[in-house]
Structure 1
Amino acid sequence: MFCIAASLKTWKLRKPYIESWWEPNVTRGYVFFEEPPGEEFLPWPAKSPEFRVHEDVTKLDVFTRFNNPIQLRILRSVVETFKEADKDVKWFVMTDDDTVMVVENLLEVLAKYDYRKSYYIGMNSESVKSNVDFTFEMGFGGAGYALTYPLMEAIAEHLEGCLLRYTHLVSSDYIVSACVADLGIDPTFEKGFHQVDLHGDISGLLSAHPNAPFVSIHHMDTTEPIFPSKNRTESIHQLLRAAKLDRTRVLQQTICHHRPSHWSFSISWGYSLQIYESVFPRWLLKRPLETFLPWLPIAKPPFYMFNTRWPFDNPCEAPHAFFAESIKRIHNTEGEDEIVTTYVRKSPRNLQPCPLDGHQSAEPITKVQVFSPTTRNMEISDIGPA
């Protein structure tokens, strides 16, 4: 059951993010607002989650003690979601209205854990500064975090006392992490949740996605569109089309080499493809190209929770960049189903070919097709209770 923190001030802009992955009568939960939607939002569309209005937190005794009362409102929505839940709910997932989720991959990740026990699943930030300012031991709320029913029940029971202890903390997910820690539960980190405390072009990050199911991506309107030829909404739909055809493979990185031409290929399935005019080891290409900027310009290095590579103008090291244009399922001549992803060049590289002996130029290539065997998209029943 989802609890989505939102605001009417930004809902028009962010609604397409939520509607891109929300399935009416399949996904369940609520989007929470600070006040009832006005006429401009009504009638409420069926393709959006049901909305709820937060309780009036100004009447709570603890309200005046909070440094940031907005966070109190978000915290109370967590409890309100629990109160409206049926007993058959196994997991509660908290997230923001500028987050996109692949629900089937979320279910696959959560199915690894026993929902009858207390689990707190999420991921910390990519930004060292964000983790320092809050805590490294936290599932960040933008990326989304999941709580089992027993843990949610315990939080609801002890929330009032927890709020009194942590009025000085500055975010709702930080307070939740403190409350969970007081209950004796540590976070369990899963790499597929992406807070994206970054700015600019995050293609370098997504092109070197870890080999873990892609679950979520946050801060969609504070970064550039992830496909260079599309706007933000179009970009999300393009990525989710790939996830719909093969959610287990989307964004998973494959690295291979064509030694006769001295080329290296790095493929982020359904998203991007890079050709290097040199043979590079896999450990290097698994490091994201630093196409993005730190979340806070005042931060000092190290900026990120992972190693990166600098984008160089050296023609032997700079990749030819291609992005997914289309994806379709075909029936090949051998009678087998395949998925064909077509990647087109982003723009001319504007560099000379790699001058080393035997290294061929990839500049004439404008389009690359990748043929993948179909994998069975597991149904919920295949991956256990969730």
Structure 2
Amino acid sequence: MQRSPNLANSVSPTNIGHVVFGIGGSTSTWGNRKSYAESWWKPNATRGFVFFETIPRKHLPWSISSPPFRVSENTSKYKDYDKHPIPQAIRLARIISETFDLENKGVRWYVLGDDDTVFFINNLVDVLARYDHDEYLYIGMNSECHSSNSLHSFEMAFGGAGYAFSYPLAKALVTNLDVCLKRYQTLYGHDHILQSCVADMGVSITHEKGFHQIDLHNDISGYLSAHPQSPLVSLHHLDAVDPIFPSMDRKESLNHLMKSSKVDESRLLQHIICYHNPTNWTFSISWGYSLQIYESLIFPSILHKPLQTFTPWTKVIRPPYFIFNTRIPSNDPCQAPHLFYFDSHIENTTRGGDYILTTYTRGKIRGLPACNHSADDISKIVVFSPIRKHHLNGSRRECCDVLRIIGRDAAELKLRDCLENEILP
């Protein structure tokens, strides 16, 4: 339930101090995954813990850049629940209880995730602040893959993407947790166990499209370049896909994306489209990540469908593969984009106002003949973005104009509010 205007004015705004994180970790994977947690964790600002099955001795002394750790409570008493128990699922399901016991003062939201979940915490806070934390609320998102949802539940928030419980729901869940663990002991994952328990308390999932399980493989650039109209809240499974910037490794890619988030997290990955009529070019921007040039005019209704550069998490014989529509990549020069990726930014630049300048440079030559005017020589694109928080509350996306094509090798674009009755192109 969204907060009513009167109630929203009666309490202080939700901030990061009202949110507590419970992260499921493993001593065997932490060495490869701690960089994910450290990319978003803010010491002395964020609250919460990462929970391990044993003391992470080989990682001691503990880094102050990581979430503080705790060792999960002994779960041996639950082994009698089932002939085929899943101790790891039981341990991870109990993180909500152990986190609640450790941190319950001034808390509005409990957010659970994995040790390879990357949160964008400013956007997360903005999303949670829209809702009434005094209600029973369970917020998250499905898997991208139809098969994963079918195997588990379409009503489940997937744990790798992360999900949030309001304080009263978390309290009720903790009170009933042992009953639920016994009732749903045969379920595969902790996220399915908790979702089933929440359902038994009369609570359904509230979907927020910015939580991303990333049940995908290979090149997810097509997916990230057509982000839904929602704040980017989380990314998962980045170690199971290609590096999101093709010229970098996975760790470098994440750090590079975080550069964009530090400049303007509210706009990160937001999809903006503009057109250059003299050349019939279409510019498709995923802010702070990528930019595509099409040598033809392509409607937004088409560009909002991701290019299927990725494959499903599991092999599926027949469609549907995903819970969203996709576009199949094409060698048609009028349908295949020129690919550019975020390179750098400059802040507080005055050019008739304050703007952020983000620069995108070419990934690789497309290698196709021209459709209309060839964009092969374009090597750099600069995007001027007004310095302001980009609010995504169900309103319109931003629009943009092509300021100029500089010679044959560069272009400048400028973001703006869409006009009242504007339709693109």
Q: TM-score range by the shorter chain?
A: over 0.9
Tell me the residue number matched to 2:187.
169
Tell me the residue number matched to 1:338.
355
- Measured against aligned partners, the alpha-carbon deviations of 1:51-86 in whole angstroms (never above 9, x if no partner) come to 011111113364545532210011112210011113
2:80 and 2:48 map into 1 onto residues whose CA distance is 27
Q: How many residues align?
A: 372
Name which of structure 1's ranges 13-22 and 70-79 shifts more when overlaid on structure 2: 70-79
8 A contact 2:81–2:182 mirrored in 1: no
Tell me the residue number matched to 2:220.
202
Paired AA for residue 21 in structure 1: W
Paired AA for residue 379 in structure 2: T
Residue of structure 1 aligned with 2:157, choices 133, 139, 151: 139
2:382 and 2:181 map into 1 onto residues whose CA distance is 54
Q: 1:376: how far off?
A: 3.9
Q: Counterpart of 1:266 in 2: which secondary structure?
A: strand
Tell me the residue number matched to 2:397.
none
Paired AA for residue 80 in structure 1: E
8 A contact 1:67–1:170 mirrored in 2: no
Tell me the residue number matched to 1:95.
113
Q: 1:234: how far off?
A: 1.3
Paired AA for residue 252 in structure 1: Q
Tell me the residue number matched to 1:383.
none
Q: Percent identity?
A: 50
Paired AA for residue 319 in structure 2: P
Tell me the residue number matched to 1:22.
41
Report whether the alignment pairs 1:6 with 2:25: yes
Residue of structure 1 aligned with 2:384, choices 361, 371, 379: 371
1:360 and 1:9 map into 2 onto residues whose CA distance is 53
Q: 1:328: how far off?
A: 2.0
Q: Counterpart of 1:31 in 2: which secondary structure?
A: strand
Tell me the residue number matched to 1:80.
98
Residue pairs, 1:185-334, within 5 angstroms: 185-334=203-352
Residue pairs, 1:26-45, within 5 angstroms: 26-38=45-57, 40-45=58-63
8 A contact 1:62–1:164 mirrored in 2: no
TM-score by length of 1: 0.94
TM-score by length of 2: 0.86
Paired AA for residue 326 in structure 2: T
Unaligned runs of 5+ in 1: 379-386
1:349 and 1:49 map into 2 onto residues whose CA distance is 43
- Measured against aligned partners, the alpha-carbon deviations of 1:100-146 in whole angstroms (never above 9, x if no partner) come to 11101000000111111110000011100000000000111100000
8 A contact 2:109–2:165 mirrored in 1: yes
Tell me the residue number matched to 2:369.
352
Tell me the residue number matched to 1:56.
74
Paired AA for residue 198 in structure 2: V
Tell me the residue number matched to 1:71.
89
2:246 and 2:369 map into 1 onto residues whose CA distance is 23
- Measured against aligned partners, the alpha-carbon deviations of 1:341-377 in whole angstroms (never above 9, x if no partner) come to 11011011111111xxxx2000010111111111148
1:257 and 1:281 map into 2 onto residues whose CA distance is 10
Paired AA for residue 386 in structure 2: P
8 A contact 1:3–1:29 mirrored in 2: yes
Q: 1:11 to 1:83 in 2, by over 3 A?
A: same
1:156 and 1:313 map into 2 onto residues whose CA distance is 54
Paired AA for residue 370 in structure 1: V
Unaligned runs of 5+ in 2: 1-19, 392-425
8 A contact 2:340–2:360 mirrored in 1: yes
Q: What is the aligned-residue RMSD (CA, Å)?
A: 1.3
8 A contact 2:211–2:235 mirrored in 1: yes
1:293 and 1:23 map into 2 onto residues whose CA distance is 34
Q: Counterpart of 1:264 in 2: which secondary structure?
A: strand
Q: Counterpart of 1:137 in 2: which secondary structure?
A: coil
Tell me the residue number matched to 1:382.
none
8 A contact 1:143–1:195 mirrored in 2: yes
Q: 1:230: how far off?
A: 1.1
1:27 and 1:220 map into 2 onto residues whose CA distance is 22
8 A contact 2:147–2:316 mirrored in 1: no
Paired AA for residue 360 in structure 2: Y
Q: 1:224: how far off?
A: 0.8
Tell me the residue number matched to 1:362.
375
